[in-house]
Amino acid sequence: QGLSVLVGLALCVTMLGLGCAVELGQLGQQLRRPVGLLLALLGQFVAMPLLAFLLALIFALDEVAAVAVLLCGCCPGGNLSNLMSVLVDGDMNLSIIMTASSTLLALFLMPLCLWVYSRPWINTALVRLLPLGAVSLTLGSTLLPIGLGVLIRYRHPRAADLLVKISLWSLLVTLVILFILTGTMLGPDLLAHIPASVYAIAVLMPLAGYALGYGLATVFKMPPHCRRTVSLETGCQNVQLCTAILKLTFPPELIGGMYMFPLLYALFQSAEAGLFVLVYKMYGRDSYKQDTLGEEEDTDISYKKLKEEEVADTSYGTVTTEEHNSVQMEETQTAL
CATH number (domain holding residue 125): 1.20.1530.20
Give domain status of residue 331, yes or no: no
Considering Cα of 132, then 133, then 136, then 137, what sign does the dihedral take? negative
Contact 198, 261 (CB under 8 A): yes
Residue 56 parent element (H or E): helix 48-58
Which position has the higher pLDDT, 126 or 84? 84
Give domain status of residue 303, yes or no: no
Span 201-216, average pLDDT: 94
Percent of the chain whose pLDDT exceeds 70? 71
Give domain status of residue 299, yes or no: no
- Which CA distances in Å does 276 have to 35, 83, 120, 229, 272? 24, 13, 35, 11, 6
Residue 279: give the domain boundaries.
1-285
How many Å apart are CA 124 and CA 191, to the nearest integer? 24
Span 191-218, average pLDDT: 90
Closest listed residue to residue 140, CA positions, set 232, 11, 246: 11
How many Å apart are CA 71 and CA 131, to the nearest integer? 12
Region of 22 (left: φ > 0; alpha: ψ -120 to 50; beta: rest) is beta
Q: Is the pLDDT of residue 92 over 50?
A: yes
Summarize pLDDT for 114-173 with one digit per residue, the tens: 888 988 887 776 776 666 666 666 666 667 787 888 888 888 888 888 888 787 777 777
Query: Model's pTM, two decimal places?
Result: 0.73
Contact 153, 160 (CB under 8 A): yes
Q: Is the pLDDT of residue 320 over 70?
A: no
What is the reported pLDDT for 324? 46
Please state the separation of Cα 108 from the chain's center in Å. 19
Give domain status of residue 4, yes or no: yes
What is the reported pLDDT for 322? 46
Residue 331 parent element (H or E): strand 327-331
How many Å apart are CA 260 and CA 272, to the nearest integer? 19
Number of structural domains, the chain? 1
How many Å apart are CA 40 and CA 14, to the nearest integer? 19
Give domain status of residue 294, yes or no: no
Q: Is the pLDDT of residue 203 over 90?
A: yes
What phi and psi values does residue 327 have, to the nearest 5 degrees? -120, 130
- Reported as a pLDDT band with limits 50, 70 and 90, residue 230 is very high
Give domain status of residue 44, yes or no: yes
Give domain status of residue 334, yes or no: no
Q: Is the pLDDT of residue 200 over 60?
A: yes
What is the reported pLDDT for 70? 92
- Reported as a pLDDT band with limits 50, 70 and 90, residue 250 is confident
Q: What is the chain's mean pLDDT, rounded?
A: 76
Give domain status of residue 152, yes or no: yes
Count of residues making up the chain: 336
